[in-house]
Structure 1
Amino acid sequence: MKFKAIIFDMDGVLIDSERYWRKREHEVWESFGIEYTQELAQKTQGLNLTDAHTLIQEYKPEVTFEQAVKAFEKVAHKIYSGLCNLIPGVEKFVQEMHEAQIPMVIGSSSQQEWIEDTLEHFPVLKKGISKYYSTQTEGFPGKPDPTVYTELITYLKVKSEEVVIFEDSTTGLKAAKASGAFTIAVYDPTMSHADTSIADEVISSFEDKKIHTYLGIG
C-alpha cells in the first residue's frame, strides 16, 4: 500500500448518520423558530456545534450555546444510539486495513460522546480505530480549518503525503486538502451537496472497486 495511515471523517463516511440528521435536524432549527430549508441544510453539513450555534445566531441572536447544545444532543442521542448503520463496504474495508496493520483514526466535527457512542455500537470500528479527535471537544477550529487533520497526522508520526483522508462534505474536503494529505470524497448524490472537485479521487462507497486502485492495494 502506498499510504501509511488512514484518517476518516465519521458522519457520512463511516456511518450513514447524515441521512438521519437530514431527517431529524429540522427539529433543532424549528425548535428555535427557524425554517430548515435546503440551502440551510447545505450550510450545516460538516459543522461542529460551535459553528452551528454561530449559524443559529444569524437567525436568532438570543439563542445561547447551551440551548443549542441541548437541542442537538436530543436529536444526536436518537441517531448514534441505534438509528444509523455503517456505510456499505466499511466493515470489510476497516477489517482489511486492520489486518494489514494500517493505522486508522477519526477526525470529526461531532462531539466526542457521539464518536464514542458510534465506536461502542460498531465493534469493527472500536477494534480498528486507534485514535479520534473531535474539533468541538479538543477546542480546534472547525473545518474547513485543517487543524484536526494536521494534529492527527502529527499523532500518526507520518508525513502528510503518506496519509489518505476520507471525507464527504465540502468543508471537510477543504480541511483535508489543506492538510496536505491525499483526499478521497465519499459521495452519495442522494444525500451530499459536496463539491467533489476538491478531492483527489471520488468513490460512491467503500464497495467501490476503484478504492483499491487509489490506495495501491489488491
Structure 2
Amino acid sequence: MSMRSKPLKCITNVIFDMDGLLLDTEIHYEKAFENIMKRYDMTFRKEYQLKILGCDGDTISKYFVDHLGLPCTHEEFQSQKDAEMDRLSQHCSVMPGAQKLVEHLHKQKIPIAVATSSGQQSFDLKTKDHKEFFKLFDHIVLGSSDPEVKKGKPAPDIFLVCASRFPNKPKPEDCLVFEDSPNGIQGANAAGMQTVMVPDPNLDKEMTKEATMVLKSLEEFKPELFGLPAF
C-alpha cells in the first residue's frame, strides 16, 4: 500500500472503473492495437496504451490516427478495434480481489456503481461470463453510449453522472472512485472525489501521484480506512 499525502475522509458511495480494474481486459486491448498497427507495417509500443488508458472510443481513435499517423480514418480504426475486441474479449477474467470487495460492499448495503468508458456492445461482450457479478451494482454508466456523458475521461462528466444516479444523491466528496488509469484518476479528482488507484505495473510512478491511495491489487484494500465496514 502506498504512502498517503492527505488524510482520508469517510465516504458513503463507491464507484468502480471496469477495464483493467474489475475485469482483466487491458491485455486484449494491447493485442488488438498491436494487430491493427501491424496491418499498416507500424510497431505497437506499450507506452501508447498507457497514454490512452481509461479514454473513450473517440479519443482512442484520434490518438492512433491523428497523433500516431495510422493511415486510416477514425471510423475504419474504430471498426477494426471493435472487430478485434469482439474476437479477443470473449472470456475476460475478474481481477484479483474484485469479487471479494464488491460482494462485501453489496452485502453491507454500501451503494456501488460502475463508471466505464465502454459502450453498450463492448460492455455486453466483456461481461457475458460475469452477469451475476455485475447485477451486484446499483447502476452502470457506459461513457461511450450514455447521452448524459458529454465528455469522456479525463473530464469529470462520467463520475458526476454516475453519482447523480444513486438514490441517496451523494455529494462528490462522499464518493470513492477505484481506477487503474491516470485519465480516470484525473477525471475523478476533477469531480471532487477521493481516488484509489490500482495501476498497471509498467506505469511510471509519476503518473500515480494524483491518487488519494495507490495499491498493487484490490486485495490490499482496507474498507475501514474510508469509514466503510471492514471485511
In the superposition, the TM-score normalised over structure 1's length comes to: 0.88
Equivalent AA in structure 2 for residue 108 of structure 1? T
Q: Deviations over 1:6-64 (max 9, x none)?
A: 11111111011112322332112333444212332222322211011211222447622
Equivalent AA in structure 2 for residue 50 of structure 1? D
2:100 corresponds in structure 1 to 92
Question: Which whole-Å CA distance do the structure 2 matches of 1:47 and 1:209 have between them?
Answer: 25
Q: Which runs of 5+ in 2 are unaligned?
A: 1-8
- Pick from 127, 131, 153 the counterpart of residue 143 of structure 1: 153
Q: Deviations over 1:82-107 (max 9, x none)?
A: 1x211101111111111111122111
**1:70-149 mapped onto 2 (5 Å cutoff):** 70-82=79-91, 84-139=92-147, 140-149=150-159
Question: Which whole-Å CA distance do the structure 2 matches of 1:101 and 1:217 have between them?
Answer: 10
Equivalent AA in structure 2 for residue 4 of structure 1? T
Q: Which runs of 5+ in 1 are unaligned?
A: none
Question: Which whole-Å CA distance do the structure 2 matches of 1:142 and 1:76 have between them?
Answer: 20
Alignment of 1:13 onto 2:21: yes
Question: Which whole-Å CA distance do the structure 1 matches of 2:78 and 2:59 have between them?
Answer: 11
The structure where helix makes up a greater share of residues is 1
Moved runs in structure 1, 4+ residues, more than 6 A?
none
Alignment of 1:42 onto 2:46: no
SS at match of 2:110: coil
Question: Which whole-Å CA distance do the structure 2 matches of 1:117 and 1:62 have between them?
Answer: 28
Alignment of 1:213 onto 2:222: no
In the superposition, the TM-score normalised over structure 2's length comes to: 0.84
2:4 corresponds in structure 1 to none
Report percent identity of matched pairs.
Answer: 24
